[in-house]
Structure 1
Amino acid sequence: MTVPTGLEARPASVALLARAVGRVQDPAALAAALAATVADAPAADRDALVMAAVQAVLPRTEAWLVAHGATPEQAAASTADVARKRERYGVGGTGVDWFCAVATGRVVAVGRLQYELGARLPDGSRAWAVHVPETGPLDPDACDRSLAEAPDLLRRLAPDHRATRWSCRSWTLDPGLADGLGPEANLVRFAARFTLLPPGPHDAADGDVSVAKFVFGTDPATARHATATGRVQRAVLERWRAGGHWSERTGVAEVA
């Protein structure tokens, strides 16, 4: 869907997000509240109005991050994910909840990786979620540096949400990934950092959707007919064509 441009952010929408900057709030609830501020607009304009509010609050987000220990480069890299995700996946494909998480400082970038404050494991315990932004190769040394540097910043940003474990939910944690890519592939080495939790009821269904989105940038039906351009895409297609599926698994690791 093409999002209309040129619409100004509504003050009520901007104020809602501005109040949430620096507060670890449920991004889904915040997205619902943000949607309510534009509910009276024509349906075709609502996404644009929401994103105008998100964009308007980003300078405040960056200022808050720097004031609480982030470098200007880290703050800018954190908010840059709004434009990156919107361009690659669109508003609906990304989800307004993710844009709200970035715009309020819940998701921050430290080097190669992103971290989400306020995450919870299935048992309810706190965790710092790890995400992989679309910024190039997943170099193991760059990941090492990011994971080493992140805890100090995360503790400063949200002292009431400290965690002792990383969590990551991703299709890259599918146990069979190494079969298609080999143990030395960057994605496989990244996945090996985490200990898998028992599979959940939605892991298999979520995996094919996730792979189609993040590897091919489309939906599963379209992705299955794509022409592979690299070994990751080849590995995905080979499993599908053999009648298999991809799972999206959750893994954890201790914070050093």
Structure 2
Amino acid sequence: MQNEELSRWRQLEPSQIQERLRLSPAETQRWTDVPDGQASAGVGSVALPADHAAADLIVQLGVDRADVPRFLATRPDMRRDPELYWLLDRCCRWLIDRMGRPDPAYHAWPKIDSAGLVGEFLYAWAFLAVLPAVRRYHASVGLSEDESWDSLSALGRELRDSHTGTGLGPTWMLPLVFSDVSFRLGRLAFDQRAPAANTHPVLMPGEGSWNLHVPGDGGPITPALCTASMVRAVELSRRLSQTAVVFCCHSWLMEPQLQDHLSADSNIVQFQSRFDHFTDSRIADADPIHYVFGRELAGVGDRTAFRDQLPQETSLQRAIVAVLKSGNHWHTRTGWSRTAARPDTGSRPKAPAERRASEGEAGR
């Protein structure tokens, strides 16, 4: 009888999972389709660390020691939470199955907010379950101890940055980190992309690129630190399945109006100057508001009053407010930068006047 209770979660139908966890049909199908590989040794194919080990690990991954008891109280139980344990098993299987291999059909993992705190912290327990395999992979491809733990500490950073202060999700980056396709290498972070298709705007068919991210906790993006990170990323990519010939960065930091308001020798303008081809421009006023001021634009009624209350102590803060006051918008774009693995074209960023003449003012 005890074994039957322990394995009850295995007998659940996808429709039961969808109803209990309030997943969409597409999300339920994605989890149902995860291969039946061995996630890890242990009862129920998921080996969760004991409480004392989980406490030490979660602190090493960046969670405050004071928050550990609350986290441990969310440990999923296969008797009490069979639907969550089913999903936990699928999460672990996916992470192991995709280890080191970018998924061209990847989707962010949805927030599980229909099962209390156990649901909201479920992904964190999945990440702890696969951590030994992740660490072995890091060692096998030559990541240093610091690089390995810096990469994995994205878990603590995302928990701290959670808007609700509880749990995870929806989460885009963490499944990439714990399936070993995303790495923190010094000041910058990177994740591998699937090989280019035949109609890519920048890459040749089959060429590899890495997404480049600027974590918010690393201080100034000085040219020296950025160069060191990018050189290290190319070096690491040569030990993986595909060499990165191009970096791409989708961010408000690719906004051309920054060149109009910041000095040419500023860290941001010098960072932007590393990219010589741009795609996917979209209005995104909320992005600089979030990343520079730590405020959220969503739900704001009187945007004029909100804007006028923003601090203007730095040139970047003043630039953001000035553009909004002028009636223009901030944008995100995808910038593309060739690496040492592909020859540079020698092109340089256009001066503001030349840029406006060639791009027009339509997207402003």
Q: TM-score, normalised by structure 1?
A: 0.81
Indicate yes or no: 2:23 matched with 1:23. Answer: no
Q: Is the 8 A contact 2:250 2:333 kept in 1?
A: yes
Q: CA deviation at 1:244?
A: 1.6
1:217 aligns with 2:299: no
Supply the AA of the counterpart residue of 2:260. D
Alpha carbons of structure 1 residues 24 and 144: separation in structure 2 relative to 1, 3 Å: same
Q: Matched residue of 2:151: which SS?
A: helix
Shift in alpha-carbon separation, 1:169–1:29, aligned structure 2, 3 A: closer
Q: 2:124, 2:168 within 8 Å by CA — same for their partners in 1?
A: no
| TM superposition shift of 1:93 | 8.9
Within the candidate set 174, 191, 201, 1:116 is matched to: 191
Structure 1 residue aligned with 2:215, among 123, 133, 146?
A: 133
Shift, 1:118, TM fit? 1.6
Q: Aligned with 2:126: secondary structure?
A: helix
Conserved in 2, the CA contact under 8 Å of 1:62 and 1:79? no
CA distance in 2, matches of 1:214, 1:226: 13
Instruction: Confirm or deny: 8 A CA contact 2:189 2:212 kept in the other structure.
Output: yes
CA distance in 2, matches of 1:171, 1:140: 18
Specify which of 308, 314, 317 is matched with residue 230 of structure 1. Answer: 314
CA distance in 2, matches of 1:181, 1:94: 35
Q: Check 1:119–1:113 CA distance in 2 against 1; reply closer, same or farther (3 A cut).
A: farther
Q: Aligned residue for 2:358?
A: none
Instruction: Tell me the SS of whatever aligns to 1:169.
Output: strand
> 1:41-88: CA deviations, max 9, x gaps?
625542211233234433432331122111111111111122113312
C-alpha change, 1:47 and 1:26, in structure 2 (3 Å) is farther
Deviations 1:143-170 (A, max 9, x none): 11121222121221x32x3332111111
Answer whether contact 1:169 1:248 (CA < 8 A) is retained. Answer: yes
The secondary structure found in structure 2 opposite 1:204 is: strand
Q: CA deviation at 1:235?
A: 1.5
Specify the alignment match of 1:246 in structure 2.
Answer: 330
Aligned AA for 1:218?
R
Q: Aligned with 1:128: secondary structure?
A: strand
Hey, which of these two has a bigger chunk of helix by percent? 1
1:61 correspondence with 2:138: no
Q: 2:321, 2:257 → 1: CA distance? A: 14
1:181 aligned onto 2:258: no
Q: Please name the residue that 2:235 is paired with.
A: 152
- Kept in 2: contact 1:28–1:97 (CA 8 A): no
What percent of counterpart residues are identical?
25
User: Residues 93, 182 of structure 1: CA spacing in aligned structure 2 closer, same or farther, 3 A cutoff?
Assistant: farther
Which deviations, in whole Å up to 9, do the C-alpha atoms of 1:170-223 show, x marking residues without a partner? 11111110222211110110010001324x3xx332x21322232223322567
Q: What TM-score results when the alignment is normalised by the length of structure 2?
A: 0.59
Q: Would you say the 8 A contact 2:120–2:169 is kept in 1?
A: no
CA contact (8 A) 2:123 2:168 kept: no
- The question of 1:98 aligning with 2:184 is answered no
Higher RCO (Cα < 8 Å, 6 or more apart):
1
- The answer on 1:204 being equivalent to 2:282 is yes
Q: Give the conservation status (yes or no) of the 8 Å contact 1:165–1:255.
A: yes
3-state secondary structure, aligned to 1:245: coil
Larger deviation, residues 108-117 vs 124-133:
124-133
Provide the C-alpha distance between the structure 1 equivalents of 2:325 and 2:168, rounded to a whole number of angstroms: 25
In our comparison, the structure showing a higher alpha carbon Rg is 2
Q: Distance in 1 between matches of 2:272 and 2:236?
A: 23
Question: Structure 2 vs 1, CA of residues 235 and 193 (structure 1 numbering), >3 Å: closer, same or farther?
Answer: same
| Contact 1:117 1:129 (8 Å CA) reproduced | yes
